[in-house]
Structure 1
Amino acid sequence: MTNIPGTQMTDGAPTYLGRGDPSGRFADYRPDWVGKMADDVTLEGSILDGAVKGRDAVRAVIGGARELYDRQDFNYAGPWGDSSFIEDYTAEVQGKPVGAVHLITFNDDGQVQHIVVNYRPLSSVMFFSRLLREKFAGTPYAEYYLAGEE
């Protein structure tokens, strides 16, 4: 078993219910990887049905999701292995708690090649997906999200 110092203890409580980094070390964090996407970058995740491909499409989808956050508090952001980066944060969308983990993988040129975004809990994932379908109504991005009250 790996011993990781500084691991956040949860006492069985879901981490998405809490606020992010209380020490404020991520208060000014802005992900610089967003400006380093490959032309053919792909995005997939628990909120999407399918994979979004292409720099403009991925930026539109990520930007649209962030616009719906009431707040976003990072717990961790940093390197993961030799060619990846990870972000862990909590957020709220219309008062509903959301936890997220992003795994960003870079190609040999240092550009973002693939992004996986996993949200939790399931009830918030479904709610958020429906909101994003409404937000992107009339665009090609709407079809990636849930429709109605399934």
Structure 2
Amino acid sequence: MSTYLGSGNTDLHRRDYRPAWLDNLADDVTMEASVLNRMVEGANAVRQILAYARTLYDYQEFNYVGTYGEHGFVEDYTSQVHGEPIGSIVIVRYNDAGQAQHVIINHRPLRSVLLWSRLMAEHFANTPYAEYFLSPELAQEVLGSDTAA
């Protein structure tokens, strides 16, 4: 069974999770993700992008949330975005001051990654953040007409 499908137990679906690391970003934090065209740099950009991204989840079903090595944190969860299943692994590396310095987000499967990137591009169209995401036109071409908004 694919891990991004979750358990199917709706009692495990959370809609209230807010990671503590999001409130403790280094000024020069970087974020890489499978839904991004390139790395995002700076606390404000990361905060703005993740603030909207978090609204796309229908819920989050966590497999694991906790420390990762000496200076890290990891989240492993599944969800749905517009009815499409999506799995996520988030790795956060802290600097010596205990601030989130590097955020790496891996989503799967590819269809959901492309859908996510398209939704983000539509939301951030005509802003400096639009360049980080797959253009809605290209996403629709890749995914097919069944994903039209």
- Aligned equivalents of 1:27 and 1:71: distance in 2? 5
Change (3 A) 1:67 1:111: same
Pick aligned residue for 2:77 from 75, 86, 89: 89
Listed one character per residue, the Cα deviations across residues 10-46 of structure 1 (whole Å, up to 9, x for unaligned) are xxx111112488885x786431111110000000111
In the alignment, does 2:116 pair up with 1:122? no
Structure 2 length normalisation: TM-score?
0.85
- Aligned equivalents of 1:21 and 1:33: distance in 2? 27
Q: Which amino acid aligns with 1:101?
A: I
Check whether the contact 1:103–1:115 (CA below 8 A) recurs between aligned residues.
yes
Query: Is the partner of 1:50 in helix, strand or coil?
Result: coil
Check whether the contact 2:87–2:108 (CA below 8 A) recurs between aligned residues.
yes
Change (3 A) 1:133 1:110: same
Q: Which amino acid aligns with 2:72?
A: S
Check whether the contact 1:100–1:118 (CA below 8 A) recurs between aligned residues.
yes
Question: Counterpart in 1 of 2:147?
Answer: none
Question: Counterpart in 1 of 2:146?
Answer: none
Unaligned runs of 5+ in 2: 143-149
Larger helix proportion, structure 1 or 2? 2
- Aligned equivalents of 1:85 and 1:116: distance in 2? 11
- Aligned equivalents of 1:23 and 1:129: distance in 2? 28
Change (3 A) 1:75 1:32: same
Listed one character per residue, the Cα deviations across residues 114-137 of structure 1 (whole Å, up to 9, x for unaligned) are 000000000110111111100111
Q: What RMSD, in angstroms, separates the aligned Cα atoms of the two structures? A: 1.9
Question: Counterpart in 2 of 1:66?
Answer: 54
Shift of 1:55: 0.6
Unaligned runs of 5+ in 1: 1-12
Check whether the contact 1:21–1:75 (CA below 8 A) recurs between aligned residues.
no
- Aligned equivalents of 1:121 and 1:22: distance in 2? 21
Structure 1 length normalisation: TM-score?
0.84
| Greater mean alpha carbon deviation, residues 31-40 or residues 67-76 | 67-76
Question: Counterpart in 1 of 2:127?
Answer: 139
Question: Counterpart in 2 of 1:38?
Answer: 26
